[in-house]
Chain A
Amino acid sequence: MQRPVPSREKRKKEKQEDKSIPPAPAQETPKTVLLKTESSPVASTPQHEIKQPESFPPPIAVPPSAISQQKSESPPPPGPPPRYHPQVHESKSSSVSVPTYHPVPSAFHGPIPQLRHRVARKPAFVDNYDLPSSYNETNLTLIARDPHWVHAYWEITPTAIEEIRSKIGSEFDRSTITLRMHDVTCVDFNGHNANRSFDIDVGPHAHSWYVNLWCDNVSYCGDIGVRSPEGNFYVLARSNMIETPRAGSSGRGEMIWMRVDDEEAEPPYVLVEETLEAKKAKGRSVKKVLPSFESKATRHRIYYLTEDDIRAYYSRLFPNLRRVLRRGKGSLGREGVDLSGRKYRIVLKDGEVIFDDILLKNLSKRQFLKKILGGASEELFEIGELGGSESAAKGGASERKELAKRRQFFFELWTELLVYGRTEPDAEVWHGNKWVKLRDDGTFSLRFALPDGRIPLEFVALSKDKTDKRSIVTAVERQKTIYHP
């Protein structure tokens, strides 16, 4: 099949001629190895031959096995191995992405011809297009060149000029084409909220400009337009947003770890406004205040919130308190009644309170009921305990005395542990890894605090000549102390 050979394929043929250049001898520099050689093992995949276009010089009909045999006979590629993949090299220079392998017999069997100097050819890349001088489109583009320089290029069509001229009339003649740069770092730019802006009079003939910036790591957006001496600025086009890189390393030097989970962060607290109708539909108590006279004083207050509304609203901030309030107030005062909340079941029987909730387990019954009935602050008030900062603010010690006077009755209980023993006066006694001091007569006694929990006691006595050793292991346990107010 014959068809007109395009110029691209002509170049391909030239390439083929180049291929007749034999493998470089061993003393050649590695550069010459970059030329396509048949001895390069990577490119010589036999099945590539099948895809060969017919316009190429027909390759020799050699069965694949023969080729591999030939290859094994041929000397190993001299010099260092090719640094680049020859196939990639080939496909770069020809836009036909056909992997080529042409076993040229002369390269293997014929006499080795002299290495020719390559003729300077036209480069493979076609870059001799002329870009159109205009696209008939009013636009402005910014490109960050480096941390402190921005390149701006723009085009203003005659139509746009005419439009603006008809709009502002004679003011246009006194105006200049101006590039206005907005610093929009960390700003959701809407046209008016730039951190700062500055103008450059670029004149009617310029189509690009290099803009010098003061600082690095900033975002910029530009406007091209006309500015009148009165200060009016008519925008013709707005540019893209650019971000200049940092000029140095960041000030943050600490380790920053990658986040692995793709869980979204909880959004900050959002107040959902409830309309009056929705509130009514829910059946909540709404006391609408209909002002008899419209005054400034009532303008801000559309409807009344009761104290319970405010309590309920703020209890949402504390999950545990919300659970407490959800149980309801009145029903909890009754004893001996099974109360089932949604998740936390509470049973009051025989004067003992059994909760499922681990938190409320730690409150005694009276405290619990008070908490339910009166809210936390009232509980504080009734029991008569004072907080720490309060007494500190009011002068510490005197306040404490007052408190003790007010309390009248108190009851406290502590426990201590006394351990004592006896051994020979010149022996050594160890408690764990601690040395125990003996009295002159060989007795000793130790005093420990005895809190809730188990205290293991391990004593070892060692005779003076280190031969006799006795050890006693015991433990003391104090059960959990329960305080009933």
Chain B
Amino acid sequence: MRIALLSWESCHSIYVGGVAIHVTELACALERKGHEVHVFTRMGRPDHALYERIHGVHYHRVPFSGHPDFIEEINNMCRSFVNAVFQTEDYIGPFDVVHAHDWLTANAMIWIKQGRGRRAVLTIHSTEYGRCGNNFYGGGSARIRHIEWNGTYSADHVITVSKSLKNEVMWIYNTPYDKITPIYNGINCRNYDGWIDPGSVKRMYGIGPLDPMVLFVGRMVFQKGPDLLVESIPHVLKFYPNAKFVFVGDGGMRGSVEDRARRMGISHATRFIGQHNGWRLTDLYKACDCVCVPSRNEPFGIVILEAWSAGKPVVASSNGGPSEIVWHGVNGYKIYDNPDSVAWGVGTLFSDFDHARWMGRNGRIAVETVFSWDVIADEVLSLYYS
């Protein structure tokens, strides 16, 4: 089977967020199953080759012209993608499936389908409504919603990363029930193999070796709810005065959240360390005692899989994806998106570290069993064949 994956980011061009890992890993997994996979993505650095074969996957890095308007620039990118796909097809033969990721490449998928009638699949990683923090804004946001609607309307099949996102897409875009299949995200848990000395990692951030440590990973935006965790800190400190809260990530809300922590007099218990990737983040995952995901809207929550891969339990809000994948009391606690509930989750977890470690181990088992890219590639393939 010859598959074209369209994505605006990948680990081998420009890395922005979860979609890059998703596309790169899915392409590799499909290639391992013996398929011919072409990834069409943006031009990253000027020294990148236009075409390269990485891990058996064909990467086409497509240049395009910029534009002051972001959506127009994305449309330029889509036009370049269409051109690149058609040129590739002329050279090697038609693609069996054209698989686009998110609204950014939805237009390219639509135009390819209109032009040459290829089977079109669209993966929705999140909706514009959710990215706006559960709001329907006007302006560019409305245009993006229209592109998302057009993508779900034109695609032959739509993949969402969780059932709650499926319901959200059905609600906002009136997509038929049968047209959407939820396929969860995966993770390469071997990135988190190995042991480290948590004390030395904590020392880097000025945290005592035996202090209970809560990790928040995510963009500092309303959607992810860092303010909820900050508001809950006094309740936790009441019972665990040496608890520390590490916030990894950056965003528009960071200043106000830090300010709020200072005003409440709890800044001694918080560490805002900005955006981190790679081994620093992995070490933090391994050093912490629990990972808190107090999101107001979470399509899937890869952070949960990362925590489990590092063998850590999670305290996750029951909005969206986390409510489907977290087994309450077995590999994490499900909470509501308010500060009291967050404090309850963190406090309950701290009250029994034996149980917390057991939950972390269970999480690792879950990740090893099902949230691997080979399993997900199986699901995607069965959808291609259906």
* Interface, chain A (partner B; CB < 8 A): 250-259, 261, 263, 265-266, 268-269, 271, 296-297, 299-301, 305, 307, 310-311, 313-315, 317-321, 358-359, 362-363, 371, 375-381, 385-393, 400, 448-449, 451-453, 455, 483
Contacts and interface: CB of A to CB of B under 8 A. Distances in A.
A318 B370 contact: yes
Given A256-B174, A263-B177, 17 more contacts: A254-B142, A254-B145, A261-B176, A269-B324, A310-B366, A311-B366, A311-B370, A317-B325, A359-B381, A376-B375, A378-B368, A380-B374, A387-B25, A393-B279, A393-B282, A452-B36, A453-B93
Contact of B372 (A377, A389, A448, A452): A377
A405 to B, nearest CB: 16
Given A380-B374, A388-B24, A453-B93, A320 B382 contact: yes
A253 B184 CA distance: 31
A310 B11 CA distance: 31
B162 to A, nearest CB: 9
A189 to B, nearest CB: 17
Contacts of B11: 388-389, 392
Nearest to B177: A263
Secondary structure class of chain B's binding surface, majority of residues: helix
Interface stretch (B186-194, B229-237, B238-246): B186-194
B176 A310 contact: no
Given A254-B146, A305-B330, A388 B368 contact: no
Nearest to A358: B385
A119 B94 CA distance: 88
Interface of B: 2, 11-12, 15, 21, 24-25, 27-29, 32-34, 36, 54-55, 57, 91-93, 136-138, 142, 145-146, 149, 163-164, 166-167, 170, 174, 176-177, 183-184, 188-191, 277-279, 282, 323-325, 327-331, 351-352, 354-355, 358, 362, 365-376, 378-379, 381-382, 385
B191 A362 contact: no
A347 B355 CA distance: 44
A362 B33 contact: yes
Contacts of A317: 184, 324-325, 370
A314 B354 contact: no
30 contacts: A251-B136, A251-B142, A265-B177, A266-B163, A268-B163, A268-B323, A271-B327, A296-B351, A297-B355, A300-B352, A301-B355, A305-B330, A305-B362, A310-B331, A313-B366, A317-B370, A320-B379, A359-B382, A375-B368, A377-B189, A377-B368, A387-B28, A388-B21, A388-B27, A388-B28, A388-B55, A390-B190, A390-B191, A392-B24, A393-B278
Contacts of B282: 393
Contact of B34 (A266, A311, A483): A483
B328 A271 contact: yes
Contacts, number: 176
A254 B374 contact: no
Contacts of B188: 387, 389-390
Contacts of A362: 33-34, 381
CB-CB nearest 5 A-B residue pairs:
A388-B24, A392-B11, A387-B188, A269-B324, A376-B374
B369 A311 contact: yes
Nearest to B149: A254
